[in-house]
Amino acid sequence: MPSLLDLTSQGDVGTISDESKLASVTLMSPQQLYELWERQNWQSHTIDFTRDRQDWASMDPALRRQLAWNLSSFFIGEERVTTQFSGLVMAYESQSEEAFLTTQQVDEARHAQHFNRFYEQVLGIEGTFEDRLARARGDLNPAFVEMFDGVLVDWGRRLVENPGDLEAKVDFVTLYHMIIEGTLALTGQWFLTDYMERMGILPGWVEGFRLISQDEHRHVAYGTWFLREKAADPALKRRIAERLAELIPLAAAVLVPPGADPNSYAILDYTMEETNTFAFNALHRRLKVIGIDLASLAAAATA
């Protein structure tokens, strides 16, 4: 039986391509994920941005504008997922789960620190952390704002108000770990890192982003474990599927660059088909582990 322990240096179950293994894959427990966090800990403030500053200064202004939307979506996204996470920490059901969830919250704060430092030292945006967040907000698209300022905040608040509400916890993890991290963030991370490496630019940013991606795989591994446990209850399994059917159209809209045709666009030099296929294949594989079929979900949504 394949073990997720073998996969965590590269990814979580979303990276397994052999579908026959998915239903029986062994998932890491929150205790194992906490211990992995101790081994994979890193520092955002030691990354050297010297080359990045030179690359940014000499970059074609058109590419700088394209990158702004991608980078700002991550900067604001990391700030949002840090500040809206507290309700899930409060909703722990075991000591090991509590330990893991606190590491996830500090990971998200570290990711926001990486971007804040990049915006200050490479983009040269002076002032406070808040000033840089305010500047980055100008680059977002409306679907992103709806997801991160609307749905995420509302569903997080339900957990803060009642941490014992299991349905609220299932909704929150479905949104946060399956959609925001597993579908959107890991897709953006894969394509952006690939692009920077092909172009040979922004090495400090790439170093930080690779470490962020390693953290995100650990987070998504927790979400997959949690939802598989809860999906043993048919009512909760149905609830996860209903939430996904609501969220997938909004997630697809988050991937559209501002002002672009939603039916035909490119992100950097990747086509809409490439980015969407990557995003939804990874979601499909994780849902198979949980016991939910994405294809039948899509059919139900259009019925």
Give the binding site for Fe ion (CB under 5 A): 78, 108, 111, 181, 216, 219
**Nearest distance in Å: CB 208, Fe ion:** 11
**Nearest distance in Å: CB 259, Fe ion:** 26
Q: Where are the alpha helices (DSSP H) in the chain?
A: 30-39, 50-57, 61-83, 86-90, 95-121, 129-137, 142-145, 152-161, 166-173, 186-199, 203-230, 234-254, 272-290, 294-302
On the 0-12 / 13-18 / 19+ scale of CB atoms within 10 A, 112 is buried
**Nearest distance in Å: CB 288, Fe ion:** 21
Reading the block at residue 54, the tokens are 């030179």
Which amino acid makes up residue 250?
L
Phi/psi region, residue 221 (left: phi>0; alpha: psi -120 to 50; beta: rest), is alpha
Q: Which is nearer to Fe ion, 180 or 201 (CB)?
A: 180
Q: Which is nearer to Fe ion, 133 or 272 (CB)?
A: 133
Cα 104 to Cα 109: distance, rounded to the nearest angstrom: 9
Q: Which is nearer to Fe ion, 220 or 267 (CB)?
A: 220
**Of 163, 148, 146, which Cα lies nearest the Cα of 101?**
163
Q: Which is nearer to Fe ion, 219 or 239 (CB)?
A: 219
**Nearest distance in Å: CB 18, Fe ion:** 26
**Nearest distance in Å: CB 212, Fe ion:** 6
Q: Which is nearer to Fe ion, 204 or 223 (CB)?
A: 223
